[in-house]
Amino acid sequence: MNRRELMKSTAVLMGGAAFFSTFTPSSLLAQETPSKGGTLVWGHSETVQNLDMHQTGTASTSRVLQNVHCSLITVDKDFNLVPMLAESFEEGGDGLSYTFKLKPGVKFHNGKTMTSADVKYSFERVKNPATGAVNFEVFNDVSAIETPDDLTVVIKMAKVNAPFLSRIAENGAGVIMPEGSGDVQGKTPIGAGPFKFVAYEPGVRVELERFDEYFDGPAYLDKVIAREITEPTVRLTGLRTGELHMINDIPADRIEEIKGDAKLQTVTWFPLNWDFVNLNHDFEPFKNQKVRLAIDYIIDKEMLLQGALWGLGRTTASPSYPTSASYNSALANRPQDIEKAKALLAEAGYGPGDLKLVFKATTNYPYHIEAAQIMVEWFKMAGVELSIEQLTWADWLSQVWVNKDFQISMMNFFTLWEPDFLYYSLWHSTGAFNYRHINDPAIDELVSKARVTVDPAARADIYKEAQQRIFDEVHDVILWFRNGTIGAQPAVGGLDTIVHPNGSNLNFHKVWLKA
């Protein structure tokens, strides 16, 4: 069935989807003893950018560097905070201090043994505005970082910051680097993870090799080579021919075919990420809530999901992680209503043909291009002229993310299970990911209030209120959660360990190749 036929068909519309984030292979491997050795070649669906883990804001880069770096603490499959580089951690009774006892003998890839000085250096580096760290605001309330001995770190807070521990459980803010290594991290990242960085050829490949002194035991693989292949068909061909051992993001229209192939393995999970249409609030028409609301009514979210993603996901009006207590299940996507959209545009002073928009979409996500192409006709029905400008990933990041030079765009976000990371970063007026010029005092007040609200239930209610505000004001148009997929050769073992609980990062520590 081609896409046009698919979109005409109502029979294919997806029913309710179950939430899960676990390994679901098409064919279960028998229990085998993992083999040591070999180089796994991974067809990575995206291109890596800045290799400095403190500075990078892209999931594509984090997915690789997850294997190079570690944080003090991390999360288990249920998002409980657990030690990683720390041996233990505790919060002071007043919520104004955190004490970490470090694991002794942890080695960095440069041979240095980790001490409290490295933790202090790393956190102060993120906090320092000169670093350009994406997650700088995580440390806004930190007043002091003390190191009473080599294995103890005490963080003092100027005020209560309820999500602080959760925020440093993500590598972006919590990664620990060797003291003084900041200047080289962008080109030769040095961490304490299971794999050492070897080489990077921009747009082509990243090479990692096993770090035998990894504190949690050496990996099985000798090397991992991430080949950057954004074209889905090329990626799939490489898997079929054996040129690649595994790929992520199986082409949406080929997943059932690959699942039915006894010569290949598949891993699927939900969700991988969530997608939304971005409206630049600095662009005159989008300063008007009626215009933003009209855009929302133009889009048929369910049909777009079928047309661009072949139904491999689930529509949502909330970006909160679907199993999170903060997920506002009372919200529902607005239905497509072209006549209502036209009326709203008319009220805002835009008659048929008056509003001309440029949709900047990145080829890094082919389904974003397809989604934009589908939307062109709907916008035309509403009297809006929509043209598409296709950008490489680097150009999209430069124009849309950094320079905020766009009118309408589309993006997906990963690893935002922690609601402060999600709502403060994306919708607070000073948030690191607020590239849409959103400046809503009500949102600022809500997410700031959540930071000082210790009771989890009360905090979740605040985030639900923030979601309602985002929905009512149409700060963005939230579309769907997307499924994650991996295809692999039969020789690849340990696939049940590869997907990080956040649904985005891939861990190769326990992955292996049959001899």
CATH of 274-482, one of 3.40.50.80, 3.10.105.10, 1.10.10.10, 1.10.645.10: 3.10.105.10
Quick check: 167 and 138 in contact, CB under 8 A? Answer: yes
CA distance 12 to 15: 9
Count of residues making up the chain: 515
**Angle formed by the axes of helices 419-427 and 441-451, nearest 10°:** 150
Which of 168-172, 334-338, 374-378, 417-421 is least confident? 168-172
Q: What is the pLDDT of residue 293?
A: 98
Percent of the chain with pLDDT over 70: 94
Q: What is the mean pLDDT of residues 76-90?
A: 94
pLDDT at 265: 96
Per residue in 332-369, pLDDT (tens digit) is 999 999 999 999 999 999 999 999 999 999 998 999 99
Reported as a single tens digit per residue, the pLDDT across 16-61 is 333 444 444 444 444 589 999 999 999 999 889 889 999 987 888 9
Q: What percent of the chain has pLDDT over 90?
A: 84
Q: Is the pLDDT assigned to residue 152 strictly greater than 60?
A: yes
Instruction: Give dist(CA 456, CA 459) in Å, integer.
Output: 5
- Whether the per-residue pLDDT at 489 is higher than 80: the answer is yes
Chain segment 170-184, per-residue pLDDT in tens: 878 999 999 999 999
Q: Residue 17's pLDDT is what?
A: 33
- Predicted confidence (pLDDT) per residue in 207-239, tens digit: 999 999 999 999 999 999 999 999 999 999 999
Q: Which residue has the higher pLDDT, 365 or 465?
A: 465
What number of other Cβ atoms are within 10 A of residue 376's Cβ?
A: 15
| CATH level 2 (architecture), domain 71-180 | Alpha-Beta Complex (3.90)
Q: What is the pLDDT of residues 265-322, one digit of tens each?
A: 999 999 989 999 999 999 999 999 999 999 999 999 999 999 999 999 999 999 999 9
C-alpha distances (whole Å) from 24 to each of 249, 268, 269, 276 are 15, 6, 7, 27
Q: Could you tell me the pLDDT band of residue 515, with boundaries at 50, 70 and 90?
A: confident
For the cut 50, the answer to whether the pLDDT of residue 14 exceeds it is no
Task: Give the 3-state DSSP-derived string for 273-306, with helices as H, strands as E and coil as C.
Answer: EEEEEEECCCCHHHHCHHHHHHHHHHCCHHHHHH
User: Which residue type sits at 419?
Assistant: P
Mean pLDDT in residue range 436-441: 98
The domain limits of the chain are 19-48+193-264+489-513, 71-180, 274-482
7 pLDDT more than 50: no
Per-residue burial over 148-170, b = 16 or more CB atoms within 10 Å of its CB, e = otherwise: eeebebebebeeebbbbbbbbbb
Q: According to the model, what pLDDT value does residue 24 have?
A: 45
**What pLDDT does residue 8 have?**
36
> Residue type for 406, please?
F
Tokens of 501: 């609980």
SS3 of 61, please?
helix
User: C-alpha angle with apex 25: 488 to 21, nearest 5 degrees?
Assistant: 105
Please, what is the average pLDDT of the chain?
A: 92
The predicted pLDDT at position 31 comes to: 56
The pLDDT of 484-491, averaged and rounded, is: 96
What pLDDT is attached to residue 19?
A: 40
> How far is 270 from 334, CA to CA, in rounded Å?
23
Tell me if the domain spanning 19-48+193-264+489-513 has CATH number 3.90.1010.10. no
